[in-house]
Amino acid sequence: MSSTTVNYTDDDIKSLSPREHLRLRPGMYIGKLGDGSQSDDGIYILFKEVVDNSIDEFIMGAGKTIDITIADNTVTVRDYGRGIPLNSLSAAVSKMNTGGKYGSSAFKKTVGLNGVGVKAVNMLSSSFMARSVRDGEAHTVWFAQGLEQSEKWESGVKEPNGTLVQFTPDEEVFGPYSYNLEYIETTVKNYTYLNAGLVVKLNGQSYVSKNGLLDLLNENLGEDPLYPPIHLSGEDIEVAITHGTGYGESYYSFVNGQHTTQGGTHQSAFREAIAKTIKEFYHKDYDPSDVRTSIVAAISVKIVDPQFGQQTKVSLSSTKMSEDGPTVRSFIMDFLKEQLDNYLHKNPTTAEILNKKIVENEKDRKAISGIQKKSKELAKKVSLNNKKLRDCKIHFNDLKNDRREESMIFITEGNSASGSITKSRDVQTQAVFSLRGKPLNSFGLTKKVVYENEEFNLLQAALNIENDMDDLRYNKIIIATDADVDGMHIRLLIMTFFLQFFPDVIRQEHLYVLQTPLFRVRNKKETLYCYSEEEKQKAIAKLGANPEITRFKGLGEISADEFRAFIGENMRLEKVRMTKDDPVHDMLEFYMGKNTYERQGFIINNLRIEADYVEDLI
């Protein structure tokens, strides 16, 4: 036996309770933790798990209003449904795999099916309270970190039926965090779009939708559509479809009210059905990509006992609408074949505009086909010895890998910066793509520049997004540039590239900006990294007199050992987001166009220079 061999005995075998396992491995149940700065952080999953149960009550015809308040990181959700059966209340919110949705007629076509969600909320909260009211009787239970503290029974209460849940996510699990009400508002709006007649009150403000997915599409269009959105609905399905003027495809897909941000079988069937139906309507053998380029669409389906890829329910895996029902594919295909075809026959103006758009897409595609072929050969040749890309081993398009969502790629500039990240990265999940100087300003250019420009061509090849966003190799595309004027310019040039040619990367929330520290403040005992002047002053106050202060001017000045802390669990990322309120074309025209004189005046009038940066210039 080697002297370095570690003993392995019966004492090493441990059995955890469901509560202990959930608190030890929360990511298995709610995805990543986070601090609330990103829309998919764990605290928002907890919020949805609770609200989903109230939505299920509405779907079952019980309760038309949901009251939600968020204050001091405490969330309170009150619905006016049937109320959880009083004797089962404690078990329903604390015992794993306990619930009323296991083949019961009390719930059909709902989201919460595994008996896990609200229990996870309970066990990951420092305080948790559930109260159920049924016909004048009430039962209330209180928990701390999943352990029951007390309960109360009441009779003769005057409250309306329903369930109230209040919880505060546990900082022992999540660390310091805060709710971003903008993310919450988006989620609440989606609930109302998908449930006509539902009123959700968030901190006193009411949200309601009369037109369902049509309202959602109009809310999220970043430009005027080429034709009025097509809105179709039937039993268990609703769709809204239009086209814009840009590149890419944009979809909002839902199952039983759950936003499936990573699509799944229903979204794939929808994309296929749109292309097939439109081709058959025009009796033309159009390429599916020409039909779908610049499409903006939404689909919502209701399925009995839906199966999702994971507990966070971001991708549908069900292949059938119900146990004895049609397949998801045939259901969606049959619906669009009848309803979309009828709509186009009844609306010839829309049909004419759509056909013109498809023909234009076809011309654009054929115009760059020769360049595209050469670019593929170049990319294939270069990829054999691609010094720009240091790839990772786990990729986002590997649907069978449990860690696929952790995959990311850093886009950086220069050998020193990319070298530091490369040495400190996790080779399993983190790739690095190194730019050579500033990339081309692509604003106003056609897509053929993607294939003619070596930097863009190789970046596109690395991301694997030329033909379909479903093939994207990295969940997070992270722009990592210096915190100076040149770094900001490079950042804007990369964003312009994606906005111009691959807006779905932004719409589907894959693009981020890496925040790196501006200062290092240290003494002999402690080192603190600061991302702002305010943080620097707090660090100086904490460390006392005469600490050493370093101002980082570029990523290359940060050692690989230091960088490891900035791209690990505590990595600070800023998501690049795009909504209807963002006038994308106007912004690009102003900041990236040829109006140099106007832009120069804007810079002069809004210039802010840090004192230490001025000193560096002097």
Q: Are residues 152 and 43 in the same domain?
A: yes
260 with 302, same domain: the answer is yes
Domain boundary among 207, 241, 265: 207
DSSP string, 460-485: HHHHT-SS-GGG-S-SEEEEE--SSH
Domain boundary among 166, 186, 207: 207
- Residue 301 is part of which domain span? 213-367
Contact partners, residue 108, CB within 8 Å, separation at least 6: 60, 304
CATH code (residue 249): 3.30.230.10
Mean pLDDT of 148-175: 93
Domain membership of residue 522 (yes or no) is no
Q: CATH number of the domain at 178, please.
A: 3.30.565.10
Pick the residue with more confidence: 377 or 137?
Answer: 137
More confident of the two residues 21 and 326: 326
257/192 Cα distance (integer angstroms): 9
In a domain, 116, yes or no: yes
Phi, psi of 166 (to 5 degrees): -130, 130
Torsion of CA 250, 254, 258, 259, to 10 degrees: 0
Verify that 440 and 348 share a domain, yes or no: no
Examine the domain organization and report whether 328 and 426 are in the same domain: no
Minimal CA–CA distance to 378: which of 455, 439, 469? 455
Tokens of 251: 């979809």
How far apart CA 333 and CA 338 sit, in angstroms, is 9
Domain shared by 360 and 402, yes or no: no
Instruction: Please report where in the chains the tokens 């999940």 appear, as a residue.
Output: 429
For 82, phi then psi, to 5°, come to -80, -20
- Overall average pLDDT of the 555-560 stretch: 78
The verdict on 436 and 561 lying in the same domain is yes
3 found inside a domain: no
Q: Which of 192-201, 214-223, 583-592 has the highest mean pLDDT?
A: 192-201
Is 193 contained in some domain?
yes
Express each pLDDT in 417-473 by its tens digit.
788 888 889 999 999 998 887 888 888 777 777 777 888 888 888 898 877 788 899
Instruction: Evaluate if residue 31 carries a pLDDT over 60.
Output: yes
Q: Which of 317, 341, 367 is the last residue of a domain?
A: 367
Structure tokens at 92: 């329903």
> Is the same domain home to 397 and 442?
yes
Domain of residue 557, CATH code: 3.40.50.670
Assigned domain for 42 exists: yes
Domain check: are 353 and 488 in the same one? Answer: no
Co-location of 195 and 220 in the same domain: no
Q: Same domain for 184 and 261? A: no
Q: Between residues 480 and 399, which one has the greater pLDDT?
A: 480
Q: Would residue 13 count as lying in a domain? A: no
Total number of domains in the chain: 3
The answer to whether position 587 is within a domain reads: no
Same domain for 285 and 191: no
For residue 211, count other CB atoms closer than 10 A to its CB: 14
- Does the residue 524 lie in any domain? no
Residues 58 and 93 in one domain: yes
138 near 145, Cβ under 8 Å? no
Among 29-33, 93-97, 325-329, 350-354, which range has the highest average pLDDT? 350-354
* More confident of the two residues 509 and 554: 509
